[in-house]
């Protein structure tokens, strides 16, 4: 009869002996996440006291940074490297952190140990010896690379010198010598460039003004300040504009002869009412074999923007158009994006097209990807098409293309139904919009949801993107696919999915446990359907979105979880997205028999495009925040019904029910108790009276402050 590991030579294993076994066990599995059950089985710990002792030892080892706690019931060996690298994140409250390379767990950095690093800086750091009951801390040893050398903020001009009060948290003063002010005065929004960084002797940044954006509070100054804060362009280089102005808008006959001619087929664009860059159009006609021929026609940007040209280099750097509340900052010069490439009505245009042949059930029987010449019959806005759809051909006889639009809508609905049946995730988010006057002042805030007209365009664009990705990526077994930028979306974080499941239970919803991609998507969709139309719907959807990974560009295809597509790319918006232009060029290259492009080069471009997409999204969000605060500034003292939309250790975020404007209630304004943040249960809990504030809970608030400088609304709870 074998010995049990809980005993040794008739004696129970001592704590030091078990600690040694656990240490050796983890050292032998340096990259493995080990669940408790696996450790108990391998070390043959089959009594409850020994299991509890092992858990206690592992907790101590995590405190000593020998192990890293991955979940509540698993650990892995910590990185034994004493000196590591990561990205620094500054916070205005001094709770700075470093995100180590290869980790998603930030490490706290006290101000005194930051070496004056700024947000986004790449730093070399070490883990400090941990004091009992204290959190893990890091110390910056060296700033390897500065993220930026320009800052945006408000000038404060004094007698001898001037200061910049930056928009973002910076731990040191930014001093501007008077002779470097470029005419700036107190209250101006300015962009400054660093002349000298802090060092052992000087704790301040020395800078010079490179641009005065205007007076604080003036709309253009504030919008340009948001762009400059993220290092985004707010002007177009003149030499690039000049290059665009030299491009001819005439299409040579020999170019038309090389292409499929769709100029006699009904074609239309459907876009927002204020759009000017029409980069996609749809055509439809009934074929002699009874099938529908639907053409997804995309502006042929790559015909006009040649690789390596001055226009291409600028577009590559920008990677995306940026949509602030009151303006668009285009990726391409205006002559190209709004005129030459834009698929304007009643003009011959060059396109790159995916032509589908489909039956009445929207089953695709054949397709081809071809260069075309088109002529749009009509430019529709979404509202016009929506009216045609809602009237269903009745009372709308003035539109000669009613039948074509209704057929496109019917086919799109079939495509959508099939997509959801195959496991596509349903997220139907509202978008905050503003009516603004000529000065940029917001007059009204409202929300838009996707309607049938929007979904019609969406479905055909998804189908085209999927088809293009499959045409390159789907190859016979044993053969390697050629390089292509894919739009990928990895499976959700299982820990966050579990948190979503627990959160949904609080509202009475049961979300099924899942083990496959399809089952996960079905469980999320069932939850979205169940809570649709309820007051908690937005909150649950927000928690569900947080469980999702971010979609990004990569040449390494892992599929798209959200759409349930094995192959997906971006092909349909080359006027406003650089990856689409890359895809157009590669398709043309492969169509002409070219060999596979350099994967490393395109992976680098994919990473850059993903980064710029996120930066642009942050700028767009900040412009919405600014307009939201500006709009609510006229309602100081007003009370509203609201819901708790977020919880942090420093306070409560609440969203007003009627307009979805979000503000913060400081934890210092919760006077009835001392509140602690329970992250796992999404709530704040009072220490004495155990009163709780729960995510999604209905509350009554009063607007007390609208701080435009911080882009923040302050609320208090009305008892």
Both tokens assigned to 142: 């060296």
pLDDT given at position 129: 63
Q: How many helices (H) and strands (E) are present in the chain, helices listed first?
A: 17, 36
pTM of full prediction above 0.75: yes
pLDDT given at position 395: 58
- Cβ neighbours for 684, distance < 8 A, ≥ 6 positions apart: 647, 652, 667, 670, 675, 676, 677, 678, 692, 693
pLDDT given at position 668: 87
pLDDT in tens, 341-360: 999 999 999 999 999 999 99
The three state secondary structure string of 525-541 is HHHHHHHCCCCCHHHHH
- Long-range residue pairs from 515-518, CB within 8 A, at least 24 positions apart, any chain: 517/423, 517/491, 517/561, 517/564, 518/423, 518/564
pLDDT in tens, 595-646: 999 999 999 999 999 999 999 999 999 999 999 999 999 999 999 999 998 8
pLDDT given at position 245: 95
pLDDT given at position 3: 42
pLDDT given at position 119: 87
Q: Which residues of the chain have pLDDT under 50?
A: 1-5, 8-10
Instruction: Match 């930026």 to its residue by tokens.
Output: 148
DSSP 328: E
pLDDT given at position 4: 44
pLDDT given at position 102: 77
pLDDT given at position 628: 95
pLDDT given at position 95: 82
pLDDT given at position 508: 82
Least Cα distance to 561 among 608, 607, 514, 606 occurs for 514
3-state secondary structure of 428: coil
């Amino acid at each position: 009869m074998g010995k049990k590991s809980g005993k040794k030579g008739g004696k129970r294993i001592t704590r030091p002996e078990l600690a040694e076994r656990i240490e050796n066990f983890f050292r032998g599995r340096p990259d493995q996440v080990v669940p408790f059950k696996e450790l108990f089985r391998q070390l043959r710990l089959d009594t409850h006291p020994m299991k509890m002792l092992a858990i206690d030892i592992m907790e101590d080892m995590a405190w000593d940074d020998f192990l890293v706690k991955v979940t509540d019931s698993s650990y892995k060996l910590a990185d034994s490297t004493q000196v590591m690298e990561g990205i620094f994140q500054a916070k205005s409250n001094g709770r700075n952190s470093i995100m180590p390379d290869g980790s998603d767990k930030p490490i706290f950095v006290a101000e005194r140990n930051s070496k004056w690093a700024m947000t986004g800086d790449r730093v070399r750091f070490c883990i400090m010896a941990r004091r009992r009951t204290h959190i893990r801390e890091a110390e910056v040893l060296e700033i390897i690379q500065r993220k930026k050398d320009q800052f945006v903020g408000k000038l404060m001009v004094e007698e001898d010198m001037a200061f910049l009060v930056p928009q973002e948290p910076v731990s040191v003063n930014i001093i501007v010598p008077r002779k470097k002010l470029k005419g700036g005065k107190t209250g101006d929004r300015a962009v400054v460039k660093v002349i000298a960084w802090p060092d052992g002797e000087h704790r301040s940044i020395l800078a010079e003004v490179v641009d005065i954006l205007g007076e604080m509070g003036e709309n253009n100054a504030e919008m340009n300040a948001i762009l400059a804060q993220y290092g985004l362009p707010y002007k177009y280089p003149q030499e690039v504009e000049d290059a665009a102005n030299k491009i001819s808008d005439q299409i040579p006959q020999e170019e038309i002869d090389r292409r499929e001619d769709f100029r006699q087929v009904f074609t239309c664009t459907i876009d927002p009412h204020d759009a000017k860059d029409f980069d996609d159009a749809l055509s439809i006609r009934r074929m002699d074999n009874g099938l529908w021929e639907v053409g997804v026609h995309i502006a042929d940007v790559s015909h006009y923007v040649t690789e390596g040209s001055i226009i291409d280099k600028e577009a590559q750097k920008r990677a995306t158009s940026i949509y602030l509340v009151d303006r668009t900052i285009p990726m391409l010069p205006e002559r190209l994006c709004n005129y030459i490439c834009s698929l304007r009505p009643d003009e011959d245009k060059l396109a790159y097209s995916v032509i589908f042949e489909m039956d009445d059930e929207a089953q695709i029987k054949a397709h081809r990807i071809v260069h075309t010449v088109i002529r749009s019959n009509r430019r529709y806005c979404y509202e016009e098409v929506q009216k045609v759809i809602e009237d269903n051909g009745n009372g709308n006889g003035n539109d000669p293309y009613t039948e074509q639009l209704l057929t496109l809508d019917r086919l799109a609905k079939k495509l959508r139904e099939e997509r959801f049946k195959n496991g596509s995730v349903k997220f139907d988010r509202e978008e905050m919009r503003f009516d603004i006057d000529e000065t940029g002042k917001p007059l009204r805030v409202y929300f838009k949801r996707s309607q049938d007209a929007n979904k019609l365009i969406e479905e055909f664009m998804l189908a085209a993107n999927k088809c293009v990705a499959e045409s390159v990526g789907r190859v016979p077994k044993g053969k390697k696919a050629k390089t292509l930028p894919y739009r990928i979306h990895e499976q959700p974080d299982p820990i966050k999915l579990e948190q979503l499941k627990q959160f949904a239970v609080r509202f009475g919803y049961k979300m099924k446990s899942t083990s496959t991609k399809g089952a996960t998507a079905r469980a999320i969709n069932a939850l979205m359907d169940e809570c649709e139309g309820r007051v908690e719907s937005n909150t649950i959807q927000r928690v569900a979105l947080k469980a999702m990974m971010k979609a990004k560009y990569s040449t390494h295809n892992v599929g798209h979880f959200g759409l349930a597509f094995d192959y997906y790319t971006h092909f349909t918006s080359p006027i406003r997205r650089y990856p689409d232009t890359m895809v157009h060029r590669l398709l043309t290259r492969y169509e002409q028999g070219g060999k596979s492009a350099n994967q490393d080069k395109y992976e680098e471009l994919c990473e850059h495009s993903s980064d710029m997409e996120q930066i642009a999204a942050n700028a767009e969000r900040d412009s919405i925040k600014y307009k939201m605060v500006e709009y609510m500034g006229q309602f100081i003292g007003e009370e509203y019904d609201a819901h708790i939309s977020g919880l942090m250790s420093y306070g409560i975020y609440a969203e007003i029910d009627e307009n979805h404007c979000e503000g913060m209630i400081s934890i210092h304004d919760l006077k009835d108790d001392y509140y602690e943040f329970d992250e796992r249960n999404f709530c704040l809990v009072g220490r004495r009276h155990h009163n709780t504030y729960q995510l999604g809970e209905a509350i009554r608030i009063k607007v007390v402050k609208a701080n435009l400088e911080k882009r923040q609304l302050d609320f208090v709870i009305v008892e």
